[in-house]
Amino acid sequence: MDIFSNILAGFSIAATPLNLILCLIGCFVGTLIGVLPGIGPAATIALLLPVTFNLPPASAIIMLSGIFYGAMYGGSTTAILVNIPGEAAAAITCIDGYQMARQGRAGPALGISAFGSFIAGTFGVIFLMLLAPPIAELALKFGPPEIFAVMVLGLTILSYLSSGSLIKAFIIALIGLFIGMIGIDIAGIERFTFGIPDFFDGIGLVPVLMGLFGVAEVLLNIERVITRDIFVTRIEGLLPNREDWKRSIMPISRGTAIGFLMGVIPGPSNTISSFVSYAVEKRLSKHPEQFGKGAIEGVAGPESANNAACAGNFIPVLTLGIPTSAVMAVIVGALIIHGVTPGPLLIKNNPDIFWGTIASMYIGNFMLLILNLPLIGLWIKVLKIPYGILFPLILFFCFVGAYANNNSLVDVNVMIFFGLVGYLMKKTGFEPAPLVMAYILCPFLEEAFRQSLIKSHGDFSIFFRRPISATILAIAFLFVFMNIFSGIKEKRKRFLEKIDED
Amino acid sequence: MISRKRICSILMVAGILLFLSTGWGAAQEKFPNRPIQLIIPWAPGGGGTLNAQTLQPAFEKALGGGAMIVNKTGGGGTIAWNFVANAPPDGYTVGIVNPSLVVTQYTTKTGVNFKKFEPIITTVIVPAGVAVKADSPWKTFKEFIDYSKANPGKVNMANSGHAAMYHMGNVGIEMATGVKFTHIPYKGSGPCVAALLGGHVDGTLAEISTLLPYVEGGKFRILAVSSSKRNFAIPNVPTFKEFGFDLDVGTWYGYVVPKGTPKERIKVLHDAFKAAMNSEAFKAFYAKQGGVIEYMGPEGLMAYLEAQDKQWKKIIDFGGFKPE
């Protein structure tokens, strides 16, 4: 078979000593920046690009992609330990991962996220090998109406992202949509920018996340010094046990499928796929009430999804030269600077890069697992650092990260502002996840909506005439309908029980 | 009586002053004595960052000092440009500019103005091309324009952002040929290419470096290019000029410093950039991209900026765009 000889050729490239070392360096750097809040893979890859100038192109791409998927591994670490998502995609991991850590189960949480990432990453790469060209063709069919439909579907899962009051979740989601509208819209009109040029492109995602999660968490913890000993005394086991595995295996498989498929769609697919996976797990779970209180499914699913999405991300880039995210744009730039033309001919003209990179991702995922498992013991020790030292350090990294993200002081102020907002939200029982989800979706939702209507000259039927968008919208409506129906059923049941008691 | 503390603090202030004054003296003697910042208004991976990254090694060598690439995105480039314009005019803050600098003067209220800079050099011009899908019915630019004229508003043209350069470029085509497109804004040239590949738009105007891989891959056809001469990478494609109009909408990359930067420092930077432009790495990079290495010194770039200013103002007035 042609494909197997290609894969073998890929491994022969990826397994040279130089490329193995570069892959390891990439994975290690990736893990590191994944752990550090704020400093994301896009900036790091751009920064390290000159280092690769003298390397062969395939080796350079092997190292740079290692940084990307390494960061997805590392991103969950701080989310679980201190409730700060190292990467946007790990925002959802905060919910149950941090609760697990508070219950002394940081080890299993970190462990399942490493294993989940490994399994998803590996299967993602296998899918990538087998299905890249046909999936890329399918992805091209996603025009504005289809992307709009996907975003609507994304909004319908909002109700699963909250473990508290549904009304509060919707209120905070609306605020998220509002924040997402700040900036210049696609027709060039400024909205809520107050003339500040830094807001023209919208409020930055990184400072918002670090404020809502990181700074707010530090502020909250200043109040509750007493609860501290829970962390130290009850750390049960470093790795997931049999029960954990039993509960996680299906979420990991579903997360892999969701992440891979969504990774191909343009937009912040890593983040969205992890949110979608969380919602799906909560919907399918037999004990949805445990979500938000430390359910391991809520860690296993999303962490797998965002790693599988990495593999999905590479498809449009390697097969068509089209970047679907900021990180991929930098990878495209790296290819160009190395004299390789990303585009429809890449697989044909540079098979060494395509197959070498894919094979290296397989090896890299294995390295990451080996790298991350022993680190779990070390990470848990982080929780033993006295708060008086840990919290100033967290704040320090947040400030550095917020500034380094775009070399902008405005971002630091945005982070502080959202830190206060996050604090007040926690105090009043609002949760940040629905806000983050709505805020991330909003620009894509609006852009796709308006592009569709410009194209159709204002005719709304464009969303229903096209088979893909019509199907996705139908699923979204079904989702909402089912939700309302089960809500009514629940209320009725409770009402009848009450009558019985009387 | 003067306390010991007081003496200490006086000594410290004196020391700091001494340190500063010697530091200043050294700065006047040798330029550069610390790393130069190259401020890029766009995200990593884009054409501007790649231009700077390709120049960087040879530039540092010729300069005999370090150069740092700093990406400062936002506001369609205006944040970085205002940052450079307001930076101390000491030659240590250098900005990269492209035609958007001229366009945003008229489409934003951010106070960006090319006259706030001292130009140093231009490095390259990558012409823009009108691309359609390879399986589209239009074989030539004339057929494309004739169809668009006969069906006003029916042809969807993707652009890289509302009121951004290539949107204005499409308006420039409308102005020159009397057609009417439906303009669909995307975020950057990459999404435009994806939209055209998927058949969600009929055509796009973009720099040919972005389009070439898809022409080679048999997906796109370029109908016309914006340069005054035919491009070496696609010698069969006619220019706008051959269809009877001038429209210089290609992407060029130049470097500038804040107004008031000493002439001798501009010369140091200019010479280093010029040496870097002649490096093999830079030439080889743009040979693949269809980029024409085009040298203009400080005066040449100023004259070019003025010509660009006139051209874009005419197009922007025609389109009725106002700063928003």
Tell which of B51, B53, B103 to mutate to test the A interface (max A CBs under 10 Å): B53
Q: A329, B45: Cβ pair inside 8 Å?
A: yes
What integer pLDDT is reported at residue A288 of this predicted model? 84
Structure tokens at B103: 């366009």
Scanning A182-228, the segments in alpha helix (DSSP H) are 205-209, 216-223
Cis status, amide bond into B57, omega within 30 of 0: no
Q: B190, A408: Cβ pair inside 8 Å?
A: no
Residue A130, classed as helix, strand or coil, is helix
CA separation (Å) from A419 to A291, A441, A497?
24, 21, 43
Which chain B residue is nearest to residue A189, measuring alpha carbons?
B324
Q: According to the 3-state scheme, what is the secondary structure of A45-110?
A: HHHHHHHHCCCCHHHHHHHHHHHHHHHHHHHHHHHHHHCCCCCHHHCCHHHHHHHHHHCCCHHHHH
Scanning A205-268, the segments in alpha helix (DSSP H) are 205-209, 216-223, 229-233, 242-263
- CA dist., res. A139 & res. A253, Å (int): 22
Nearest to B209 by CA among A343, A501, A240, A94: A343
pLDDT in tens, B57-114: 999 999 999 999 998 888 888 999 999 999 999 999 999 999 999 999 998 888 899 9
pTM: 0.87
Nearest to B125 by CA among B41, B195, B209, B30: B209
Q: B156, A455: Cβ pair inside 8 Å?
A: yes
Q: B284, A339: Cβ pair inside 8 Å?
A: yes
- CA dist., res. A356 & res. A181, Å (int): 41
Structure tokens at B136: 């589209």
The amino acid present at B207, given as its one-letter code, is E
Run means of pLDDT, 10 residues per run, chain A, 502 residues: 82 94 94 82 86 90 93 87 83 90 88 93 90 85 91 84 81 93 85 86 88 90 63 64 92 94 82 90 87 92 92 88 86 89 89 92 93 86 82 88 85 95 93 90 92 93 94 90 81 82 70
- CA dist., res. A317 & res. A315, Å (int): 5
Phi-psi region of B260 (alpha: psi -120 to 50; beta: other; left: phi over 0): left
**Beta-sheet pairing, B93-97 with B36-40:** parallel
Q: A188, B163: Cβ pair inside 8 Å?
A: yes
CA A58 distance to own-chain centroid: 26
DSSP-derived letter for residue B69 is: E
What integer pLDDT is reported at residue A1 of this predicted model? 53
Nearest to A333 by CA among A30, A52, A26, A27: A52
CA A454 distance to own-chain centroid: 31
Assess B16–A contact: CB distance below 8 Å, yes or no. Answer: no
- Percent of chain B exceeding pLDDT 70 equals 91
* Mean predicted confidence (pLDDT) in B179-185: 96
Judge contact between B107 and B313, C-beta under 8 A: no
Using CB atoms, which residue from B44, B153, B184 is nearest to A46? B44
Scanning A290-350, the segments in alpha helix (DSSP H) are 297-320, 326-337, 346-349
- CA dist., res. A315 & res. A118, Å (int): 19
Judge contact between A57 and A336, C-beta under 8 A: no
Say yes or no to pLDDT of B235 above 80.
yes
CA separation (Å) from B90 to A156, B20, B85, B240?
55, 16, 12, 41
- CA dist., res. A353 & res. A61, Å (int): 8
Structure tokens at B53: 């990254």
- CA dist., res. A177 & res. A154, Å (int): 13
Assess A46–B contact: CB distance below 8 Å, yes or no. Answer: yes
Beta bridge partners, B206, equal B129
- CA dist., res. B203 & res. B211, Å (int): 11
What integer pLDDT is reported at residue A380 of this predicted model? 82
B175: exposed, middle or buried (Cβ count in 10 Å: 0-12, 13-18, 19+)? middle
Nearest to B99 by CA among B294, B253, B241, B273: B253
Structure tokens at A298: 């809520």
Using CB atoms, which residue from B74, B153, B161 is nearest to A198? B74
What integer pLDDT is reported at residue B304 of this predicted model? 96
* Mean predicted confidence (pLDDT) in B183-191: 90
The amino acid present at A476, given as its one-letter code, is A
Kindly indicate the confidence band of residue B27, based on its pLDDT and cuts at 50, 70 and 90: very low
Q: B45, A455: Cβ pair inside 8 Å?
A: no
The amino acid present at B55, given as its one-letter code, is L
Judge contact between B91 and B31, C-beta under 8 A: yes
Could you give the count of Cα atoms lying within 13 Å of B235 in the half-sphere of its Cβ?
1
Q: B216, A343: Cβ pair inside 8 Å?
A: yes
Residue labelled with tokens 């070498």: A356
Please list every residue in chain A whose beta carbon sits closer than 8 Å to the beta carbon of residue B219. 344
- CA dist., res. A80 & res. A103, Å (int): 11
What integer pLDDT is reported at residue B248 of this predicted model? 94
Total number of residues shown for chain A:
502
The amino acid present at A349, given as its one-letter code, is N
Backbone angles phi and psi of B181, in degrees to 5: -95, 165
Q: Name A452's Cβ contacts closer than 8 Å, sequence gap at least 6.
A: A143, A144, A145, A148, A462, A463
- Dihedral of alpha carbons A137, A139, A140, A143, sign: positive
Residue B225, classed as helix, strand or coil, is strand
What integer pLDDT is reported at residue A502 of this predicted model? 67
What integer pLDDT is reported at residue B293 of this predicted model? 95
- CA dist., res. B301 & res. B124, Å (int): 12
- CA dist., res. A124 & res. A126, Å (int): 5
pLDDT in tens, A454-475: 999 999 999 999 999 999 999 8
Residue labelled with tokens 């990538």: A128
Please list every residue in chain A whose beta carbon sits closer than 8 Å to the beta carbon of residue B76. 184, 200-201
pLDDT in tens, B111-141: 899 999 999 999 999 999 999 999 999 999 9
Quote ipTM for the complex: 0.86
- CA dist., res. B255 & res. B97, Å (int): 6
Which 120-179 residues of chain B touch chain A by CB within 8 A? 153, 156, 161-163
Nearest to A323 by CA among A346, A305, A300: A346
* Mean predicted confidence (pLDDT) in B173-183: 96
Nearest to A300 by CA among A114, A31, A86: A114
The amino acid present at A144, given as its one-letter code, is P
Q: Roughly what angle, to the nearest 10 degrees, separates helices A326-337 and B280-289?
A: 120
> In the sheet that B156-159 helps form, which strands lie side by side, from edge to edge?
B182-185, B156-159, B203-207, B128-133, B220-225
DSSP-derived letter for residue A431 is: -
| CA torsion angle A12 A16 A21 A23 (round to 10) | -20
A272, containing H or E segment: helix A269-284
Which 292-351 residues of chain A touch chain B by CB within 8 A? 316, 320-323, 326, 329-334, 336-337, 339, 341-345
The amino acid present at A350, given as its one-letter code, is N
> In the sheet that B251-258 helps form, which strands lie side by side, from edge to edge?
B67-71, B36-40, B93-97, B251-258, B117-126, B292-296
